[in-house]
A and B are shown apart, each in its own frame.
Chain A
Amino acid sequence: MSRKKMFIVSHAPFWHNGSNIQERCYGMIWAAMPAVALGIVQYGLPAVGVVCLAIATAILAEYLMNRATKRTVTIADGNAALLGLLFAMLIPATTPWWVVVVGTLLTVVIGLHVFGGLGANPFHPVAVSMMMLTVSWPAFMDFDAALVNYELSFKAVFPLTLAKNLGTAAVADFSTLDLLLGRQIGGIGSTFGLGLIAGGIYLIAKRYIRWEICLSFLASLFLTALAFHLTDPVRFAGPMFHLLTGYTLIGAFFLLPESASSPVNPVPMLIYGAAAGVLTMLIRNIGSYHDGVLLAVLLVNLVNPLLDKIRPKALGRMA
């Protein structure tokens, strides 16, 4: 008699979209390309350097971690490359090489492997490493400071910094069209609104991410920003502005819906996205950080296991 194979599974429900990890990761990498391409056009070869170094470091770090922990080598599934790419998309093009390397290592080692690797990470690995860098080296993560040497054809002040300090009038120059076309400073791949939206639609259409999370996040961010704006239109910028600046769109489509750290049931997904939207706006408007998306992602990642307790009762179960 041959030995029985055992599968150990976590509790229901499951969501299967017919694809596998590999397809999903490479799908997300493709979806990110338009946004990254604009960053490279704007910031040139230094941006290429950051992106390449981050992806390479992520793959090599995952390889070494796989070897060190004596697990299957998983670098071909594309997850490490995706994490490296996402990290590079959030940081300025002028980030020094050693910050890129340290940040990518934090992403893969601390954000992912310390918790047991893909599927076991309670937080989005990139949000973890970005917050660590923001706290440790604020000057490198400050877009105004990082990009002083670039002559750009648009106002080179981080829009959320202006909005936070000077209110609505100071950001009147940023039209919705400008923001959609990426005419704002920010991370290498986080400013091109249209590109990110196109990527997001592709991901939703291919069912690599769940629309419930993205849309509830964007809708609640919009409504919260609107409520703030209506209470004090001089101090708080309008909802379209907040929808298209900072990490809103990359957060909606690439960070929040990460499979391991987001809920699996529809109702929890809606709550999860909505909570992230409200938190982001609270941090932006009355908190101390300029952009609240990363912190909001971490906070809702934290309550994700609780949210997933809201689920249909199992049939026939007592109490």
Chain B
Amino acid sequence: MTSEKDLKLILSVAVILFLVGVLCFAAFPIESPQIPNRIQYRSATGHALFEHLEHNTGYDVECLECHHHYAEDREDEEQLACGACHPQEPGKATDPEVCSECHDEEYYEDTEMEARTPAVHSQCIECHAGIGAGPLECAECHMM
């Protein structure tokens, strides 16, 4: 049914599209910006979508209100994730190296660091409750 000419034509179209596709994927990979735009936390309790930049540009929350531990000398791009200090389970800091940038070991040794998830929860929810805007209920952040 298909003439030899049509076949050649369509195969070459396919090959060209293939090359364009490969080129797009190779030359324009999707890079995560250094300052996250949005962050989605996936979990069995429902995925929480956090409009990171929008909290600063849209809701006028200062970076340092959230990146709270004496971070004013850090460049914007070098702000740490909460998990860099707050461990998965409550107890010692995740990465003592981070603390020793500024403290002697004796200084922070006895600090009981709050675990990451409760720390994030209390920061987000306390601010929302204080301002009277933004979600407070579990289901408003955690979407199945």
Contact = CB atoms under 8 A, between A and B. Distances in A.
B40 A145 contact: yes
B6 interface: yes
Pairs A-B, 10 closest by C-beta atoms: A49-B24, A53-B21, A56-B18, A52-B21, A59-B14, A56-B17, A148-B38, A76-B6, A165-B143, A76-B2
B80 interface: no
Interface string B24-58: 11011011110011111010001101000100000
A282 interface: no
A49 to B, nearest CB: 3
B28 A142 contact: no
Nearest to A94: B30
A149 B33 contact: yes
A73 B11 CA distance: 11
Q: Which residue of A75, A148, A150 has the most chain B CB atoms within 10 A of its CB atom?
A: A148
Q: Which residue of B7, B20, B53 has the most chain A CB atoms within 10 A of its CB atom?
A: B20
A174 B11 CA distance: 43
A56 B15 contact: yes
A298 B21 CA distance: 29
Contacts of A94: 30
B14 A55 contact: yes
Interface size class of A (residues with CB under 8 A): 35 or more
B98 interface: no
B139 interface: yes
Contacts of A48: 20-21, 24
A52 B24 contact: yes
Nearest to B51: A156
Given A53-B18, A142-B47, A165-B139, A150 B24 contact: no
B18 A150 contact: no
A53 B22 CA distance: 7
Contacts of A262: none
Contacts of B81: none
Contacts of B15: 56
B104 interface: no
Contact of A75 (B7, B18, B32): B7
B1 interface: yes
Contact of A46 (B30, B46, B47): B30
B18 A52 contact: yes
Contact of B139 (A52, A53, A150, A166): A166
A153 interface: no
Q: Which residue of B9, B15, B23, B40 has the most chain A CB atoms within 10 A of its CB atom?
A: B40
A149 B6 CA distance: 41
B20 A145 contact: no
A204 to B, nearest CB: 27
B61 interface: no
B20 A52 contact: yes
A202 interface: no
B102 interface: no
Contacts of B18: 52-53, 56-57, 60
Contact of A149 (B9, B24, B28, B30): B30
A77 B47 CA distance: 43
B10 interface: yes
B66 interface: no
Given A48-B20, A63-B11, A76-B9, 9 more contacts: A44-B28, A53-B21, A54-B21, A56-B18, A56-B21, A74-B1, A148-B36, A165-B144, A166-B143
A52 B18 CA distance: 6
6 contacts: A49-B23, A55-B17, A57-B18, A74-B1, A75-B10, A144-B49
A161 interface: yes
Contacts of A49: 20-25, 28
A24 B13 CA distance: 19
A46 B29 CA distance: 7
Interface in A120-147: 139, 142, 144-145
A157 interface: yes
Contacts of B33: 149
